[in-house]
Amino acid sequence: MKHSADFFKDEIRNGFYIPTTIKQAWANTLDVLSEIDRICTKYDITYFADWGTILGAVRHGGFIPWDDDLDICMKRDDYIRFREIADSELPDNYCIHDYERHENHWLFLARVVNNKKMCFEPSYLKEHYNFPWLSGIDIFLKDYLCEDPEAESARDKEILEILACADSITEKTISRSAAVSKIQELNRRYGSNVPVKGDDRNIAVSLYRLAEQQMGRVSSSESCKIGQIFPWVLKSGSSAGEPASDYDRTIRLPFEDTTIPVPACYNRILSRKYGNYCQIRKVWGGHDYPYFESQKKEIEKLSGSAYPAFAFSKEMLIRPKKDESNSLKNISEECICGLEDYLANIQKALSEENYDSLEDLFLGSLRLTEDLGTLIEKTKGENRQPVREVIQILEEYCCALTGFYQKMAQDGMISDPETLQSSLDRVKKGIRANITLRKEILFLSIGPKEWTSLKPFYDDALLEENTDVYVLILTLMEKDIFGNIMNGDDTGSNGARDISLQRGTELSYYDGLNPSHVMDYSAYDPSLHAPDKIYIQFPYDGENPCLTIPVQFYSANLIRFTDELIYIPIGNTSEFSEKATTDQYTLRCHLNTPGVISSDRIYVQSENMKEQYVRSLCSFAGEGTKEVWNDRIMVSPYSYSNYAKNRRMIYCIGLNEMSEHPGTFISAVRSRFRIFEDTQNNICVSVAFYPSERSEWEKIDPAATDELFRMIQTLVRENRITLIRSHTSSSDDIALDFDAYYGSPSPFVPAFISQHKPVMISDYTV
């Protein structure tokens, strides 16, 4: 796997739920980016993140959570060089879509795609995270614009004229003679040789090529303006252009589990494109979400059947009776009966003076007592207080049996069997108090971040009397398209490849979790424990597209051995309505799953979310199930506070400030720290850099970088500030510990906004 298991886990970012299926799309797109980046690095070709991708890099440190595509741009000269070598450098299965090579791709951009067609071959799926759909990256072009707006307007009209001729030929809205006449005129004007005979598509391609030549006819030495001519400059003229100098220098910003190049003046560029781009607007446009659903529909149309997916049946709502036949409680009661039988037979043999059978009876009773103690320790854990009490009582009974038999065998004296009966009565009382009459609550966590939503229920469980609490940290494992757990060098239980970052994770990352309550999942047998309640977070069983958990913890198995199965979502999302199509799509991804359908109770964050859950589940299972969901889905009694315990603020210094304001940057930072000092009794300041890698800052101004970092190190040594290493994947978590945000645009901004905390962006115009 090129990406860790954590990458593919369901996740909530900035209040938006991102399921594994979207992560698969992201991963495949990032792999395409990796190939483009490799080629560009090798041949010194410059490219930049563009459109939603540069916005995602700056504001989120990766994809915009509710987006699923990736766009880059190149200047014309870089694009020409890339096209010249891309075919030979890209992997064999890759292809490039453009107007020359791909049917109906009448656009002035190239799309690098990771395969020539959708592929369901097991070997392909293994390399692409069980994702059969095509993934690609659009490369937009930037050309230099005429300095004179009238000259640019004239050029744009020429380009539109050429395109109109091409489109009229492909759409057959022009006569052949009129087309020939128009093409001959264009050939005379530009000295071109567009054919007048032959296939209409070939003629149109030649005309598009001619139009593209006109887009690139202004050189960098002739202009200080740059723009994407198709379609924006053609629509709006030179006003759609940008200062070419904004694209002179490049830095790399974090993007998911890699980095991506962006112009050093990214704040200026984004402000021009989107205005207040730090404001969250979940408005969708450009293509359907997610992009691969159209490919799925195409497959369904061609095959005449629905794409395989988890399907609902009414039998799933029938609650199986709890099976306690193999439970420790049942076995313990059976052992008590067995010990009573042994003692009764010992008493009978003594009364009948049948001494020959006594040794076997005593040895059998000892073995049964010892085996029961071993089973209890192995099942419940030897360090728990109730287990220690039971083991002590069982050991006392073994001593009583041994002492009774030894006195009789060595001294010929027969003690009163009532002493054994009294000891056995203590065994029965101890087992029932510490085993059979005690409750058990089990929590199945899939990671420290997800543990947050389980913790309030865990805290409540600790307050319940006569209750044993167990926490299992489940390993996420890679599976193939058939559901088989993949084998590898690192193996977990059952030879499964352990690709999870959770194994070896220190329990200190699990807030408020008592390590004594944690048990190795491979040692936990649900049929033996038969817990009263089980809380789950991973609802997929085997239905997640590329991850799974040990089979014994599938909801279909757990529900057989518990009184109550409870599903707790991995966290809270932002509130949304039925009209929020992206949220509704991701909701279906984790609701239409075996664990949710099987659960006796489902906790949600609000009445509104209950309404959304019920609506979504009824759509999946049928309106006739509405009463079931209304009964099972409950609003959580816990509200998760998003506010910090202390008055703390993050001050984030962005590289855009150094790049866009070189003359005043250092003095502005010093001035801000003086202001912070004036309020230091009221607020604690923590500083973050975006990006955090010093090497990226040194690309812009090594001297200023040295001065800035020395300033920060001094303030840290003097305990006037603390320093944060800003990791984009944990921005939401870091924001939980702070009250407010000040500074440059960064992935912290949407994290604070989604938690309804104050955000102020630094402004050099004030």
User: Judging by DSSP bridges, how do beta strands 684-690 and 722-724 pair with one another?
Assistant: parallel
Mean pLDDT of the chain: 91
Where is 74: in which H helix or E strand? strand 71-75
How far does Cα 155 stand from its chain's mean position? 47
- % the chain with pLDDT above 90: 80
Residue 74 is which amino acid? M
Cα first-last separation, the chain: 49
Q: Is residue 157 a contact partner of residue 49, using CB atoms and an 8 Å limit?
A: no
Considering the chain, what percentage of its residues have pLDDT values greater than 70? Answer: 93
> Over 50: is that where the pLDDT of 634 sits?
yes
Among 372, 350, 356, which Cα is nearest to 420's?
A: 350
- Positive or negative, the CA dihedral 611, 617, 619, 623 is negative
CA angle 617, 621, 622 (to 5 degrees): 100
Contact 235, 627 (CB under 8 A): no
At 62-107, the pLDDT tens digits run 999 999 999 999 999 999 999 999 999 999 999 999 998 888 888 8
pLDDT tens sequence across 353-398: 887 888 899 999 999 999 999 999 999 999 999 999 999 999 999 9
* Cβ(199)–Cβ(193) below 8 Å: no
Helix H or strand E segment including 667? helix 665-678
Bond preceding residue 231 cis, omega within 30 of 0: yes
**Structure tokens, 467:** 């209750």
Cα–Cα distance for residue pair 38/42, rounded to 1 Å: 6
Mean pLDDT of 233-258: 93
Give the model's pLDDT for residue 493. Answer: 39
d(CA 721, CA 685): 5
Is pLDDT of 751 > 60?
yes
Domains and CATH numbers, the chain: 5-144+225-303 (3.30.460), 146-217 (no CATH), 328-436 (1.20.120), 439-635 (3.40.50), 648-761 (3.40.50)
Amino acid at 268: R
Question: What pLDDT digit, counting tens, does each position of 392-432 carry?
Answer: 999 999 999 998 888 777 766 666 678 889 999 999 999 99
492-503 as b/e, with b when 16 or more CB fall inside 10 Å? beeebbbbbebe
pLDDT for the residue numbered 553? 97
pLDDT at site 690: 95
- Say what the pTM is: 0.90
Q: Which tokens hold the place of 641?
A: 């506070």
DSSP structure class, residue 486: P
Of the listed ranges 2-6, 513-517, 575-579, the least confidently predicted one is 2-6
Residue 237's pLDDT band, with cuts at 50, 70 and 90, is confident
Cα–Cα dist 686/724, whole Å:
7
Asked if the model's pLDDT at residue 135 lies above 80, the reply is yes
| H or E segment to which residue 144 belongs | strand 136-144
Mean pLDDT of 326-334: 96
pLDDT score of 409: 72
State yes or no: pLDDT of 154 exceeds 50.
Answer: yes
Q: Residue 281 corresponds to which tokens in the numbers above?
A: 């607007």
CA dihedral 540, 545, 548, 553 (to 10 degrees): 20
Contact between 50 and 73 under an 8 Å Cβ cutoff? The reply is: yes
* Segment among 478-487, 577-586, 657-666 with least mean pLDDT: 478-487
Average pLDDT of the residues in 451-463? 95
Which pLDDT band, with edges at 50, 70 and 90, does 24 fall under?
Answer: very high
Q: What is the pLDDT of residue 359?
A: 87
The tens digit of pLDDT for each residue in 579-623 reads 999 999 999 999 999 999 999 999 999 999 999 999 999 999 999
Q: How confident is the model at residue 726 (pLDDT cuts 50, 70, 90)?
A: low
Q: Which helix (H) or strand (E) is 16 found in, with range?
A: strand 16-18
| Distance (Å, whole) CA 595 – CA 555 | 5
Contact 668, 704 (CB under 8 A): no
3-state secondary structure of 682: coil
pLDDT at 497 over 80: no
Which residues have CB under 8 Å from 626's CB, separation 6+? 614, 618
The pLDDT of residue 353 is 81
Read off the pLDDT of residues 664-690 as tens digits, 9 standing for 90 and up: 999 999 999 988 887 656 788 999 999
Among candidate residues 389, 398, 334, 327, the one with its CA nearest the CA of residue 365: 398
